[in-house]
Structure formats: structure tokens, C-alpha cells
Amino acid sequence: MPVFFSDAFNDVTIHFDTFMKAVALHEHLRAAGLTGLTFGAPRALTVAELCTVHARAYVDAVAVGEPLDLAASNGVDWDPGLLTAAATSSGGVVEAALHALEHGGFAGSLSSGLHHARRGAGAGYCTFNGLALAAFAARRAGAGRVLVLDLDAHCGGGTASLIEGTTGIEQVDVSVSSYDEYRSTEQARLTLSGGAAYLGDVEAAIDAIAAPGSIDLVLYNAGMDAHTEAGGGSRGVSTEVLAAREQMVFGWAASHGLPVAWVPAGGYTWGGLTLDEVCGLHRLTVEAALYHLGLAA
Ligand SMILES: [Zn+2]
């Protein structure tokens, strides 16, 4: 299973989980000795590619740091390396998506910082919306139906705003926090859940997806921040619950023969976990994907 990663994801001086985690997760996965993973470095998206989703004025602000309130609208201090780091991070999502679309099976990118970003500004630690960039790139590459499955703890209001009114892209979103909540529609279906109901609500949301066999690509935002201790989580959402969730998602995709491009998304140390423990939660996604590809026990 190809996994896209670049040191450029972290090529900023900002000391923040979203940027630090990719490097730690890359080292964690290599140290875990999982068989069946091949790492590849993505290229940074060009300004023109970023502008397929984002406003030119916002991309330019991220590039030069002015106006500063727009350049830092993701909620993190602006850094001269931010454009390259964010453009390479989203480049990883796009390459994972195009790889899965072309070859089938599953692919991943160790990217963060995605689903809150808007067309004209960042939000919630997200600079560019990699999910939307990948969804539109997949459509341009011939995918007729793209599903964004967002199981991060927080709502994917940025992605919902970016796909609204388009054809061929839909979102299924189960969140345990109302942050970035949006009005649920047929195109972007939001469930607020938590606690003991969580796993059942995820299953119900997936079961409700009509005609899954007609989906050409699933973009899976596999946040681990619903975990009780992962920062922003819900009481009762344990490591075992999240392991079962990952088996459910990849089992469902495999049973319908659906290509999946996954990204780790949320999962933070401020809830009490160490960075290595957060990486251990994200490893559940990788292990479930490998299992359903027949590459792991
Ligand atoms: Zn989150």
C-alpha cells in the first residue's frame, strides 16, 4: 500500500501537532515494521492547482504572509515555509487519491490540516482543504462519484462548503464535537454522535450510503480525535472502539471493491496522550487497511 509522505510536510518552525505529527507517524510506522507499506514523496501542488479550490488572494497571502490576518487565518502563526508545507501536504492527499483511483485498492498520505479550510481563508488549524482538492482532482481524472467519509471528531464544515452545489462529490460525516457544524443536506450528511452510541452511529451512517458499488473513490478522513484522551474526544470512545471503526470502514470498502485514499486527520497530545500514543491510534487505520488488502494478519 503506497503511503505518501515528505519531510516538507513539516518544513516550518511552527511547533504544533498538526505539523509535527506527520514526521513522528512516519517514523512510528517504519519502526513498527509493517509489511506491505511503500513510502513515496509527493510533489507540492502549484498555485494554479490550489486555486481550483481556494481563492487566489488567500493563496497569495499564505505565500507571503500579508495580509497577516488572512495568512494566519488557519489559527496558527504564519511561517515562511507554510505555503510549501501545506501545498505538499495537500499534494500527498491528491496523489493518494489519484493512485487509488487509477490502481484500485487503498493508498494513504500522512497529511493533516484539511477539512475546516474554506475557499477564501483557513480555519481550525487547516490551511488548504486537501480533501476538496483531492475530490476535485479525482473528478477531473474521470471519477464520476467521489465520497468523502469524514470521521474526525470535528465537523467537516469547510469541505461541505466547498462541495456544495457541485455534482459527483458527497460527504458522510460523523462527529463528536459541534465545532464547524453545518446544516446537513442530502449531499453532505452530518451526524453528531458520541459516547456509547458512537460505533453504532458510524455503522448506520455507512449503511445509509446508497448504491455504494457506484462510488469511484472514497476519501477517508480518519481522525483519531474522537478518542477519549486524544484531544477533543468523547468519553467512552476507546482505542478498541476506534480499532473496530477502522475494521468496519475498510471492510465495507473492500466488500464493495471501492478504492480508498485515507489521511490521518485529527489526533492530538493536549488530551493527555503522548505523541507516540497518538501515532499508535493512527496505526489502527494503517493496520485495518493492510488487513483488508490481505497484507497483514
Ligand atoms: Zn478534529
| Cβ 24 vs Cβ 72: under 8 Å | no
pTM: 0.97
Residues near ligand 1 ion, CB 5 Å cutoff: 152-154, 223, 225, 266
The C-alpha atoms of residue 98 and residue 265 are separated, in whole angstroms, by: 19
**Do 159 and 142 meet the contact criterion of CB atoms below 8 Å apart?**
no
Nearest to 212 by CA among 267, 149, 153: 149
Kindly give the distance from the C-alpha atom of residue 152 to the centroid of ligand 1, in angstroms, as a whole number. 5
> 224 C-alpha vs ligand 1 centroid, how far in Å?
8
Instruction: Tell me, in angstroms, the distance from the centre of ligand 1 to residue 264's CA.
Output: 10
Strand partners, 217: 146
Distance CA 29, CA 283 (A): 7
131: CA distance to ligand 1 center in Å?
14
Ligand 1 centroid to Cα of residue 228, in Å, is 13
Residue 254 CA to ligand 1 center (angstroms) comes to: 26
CA of 164 to the centre of ligand 1 (A): 21
Q: How far is the CA of 153 from the centre of ligand 1 (A)?
A: 5
Question: What spacing in Å lies between the alpha carbon of 225 and ligand 1's midpoint?
Answer: 6
Q: What's at 64, amino acid-wise?
A: V
pLDDT band at residue 77 using 50, 70 and 90 as cut-offs: confident
Cα(199) to centroid(ligand 1), Å: 17
Convert the pLDDT of each residue in 120-146 to its tens digit.
999 999 999 999 999 999 999 999 999
d(CA 283, CA 221): 14
Query: What is the distance between the alpha carbons of residues 111 and 118, in angstroms, rounded to a whole number?
Result: 17
Measured in Å, residue 2 CA sits from the centre of ligand 1 at 24
Cβ atoms 268, 87 nearer than 8 A:
no
Q: Does the pLDDT at position 15 exceed 70?
A: no
Nearest-angstrom CA–CA distance, 13 and 49: 25
Cis link prior to 67 (omega < 30° from 0)? Answer: yes
Nearest to 219 by CA among 275, 272, 260: 260
Distance 265 CA to ligand 1 centre (A): 7
List the helix and strand counts (H, then E) for the chain: 10, 8
Q: Average per-residue pLDDT in the chain?
A: 95
Question: Which pLDDT band holds residue 7 (cuts at 50, 70, 90)?
Answer: confident
Ligand 1 center from residue 27 Cα (angstroms): 22
98 Cα: distance to centroid of ligand 1 (angstroms): 24
Work out the end-to-end distance of the chain between its first and last CA atoms, rounded to an integer number of angstroms: 15
Distance 125 CA to ligand 1 centre (A): 9
Cα separation, 125 vs 114, in Å, equals: 8
- Per residue in 100-115, pLDDT tens? 999 999 999 999 779 9
Domain 2-292 has CATH 3.40.800.20: yes
CA 15 – ligand 1 centroid, Å: 18
Distance CA 7, CA 248 (A): 31
**Cα 266 to middle of ligand 1, angstroms:** 4
Q: Does residue 147 sit in helix, strand or coil?
A: strand
260-263, strands of its sheet edge to edge: 38-40, 2-4, 106-109, 260-263, 217-221, 146-150, 169-175, 188-192
pLDDT digits (tens, 9 = 90+) for 174-205: 999 999 999 999 999 999 999 999 999 999 99
Three-class DSSP category at 260: strand
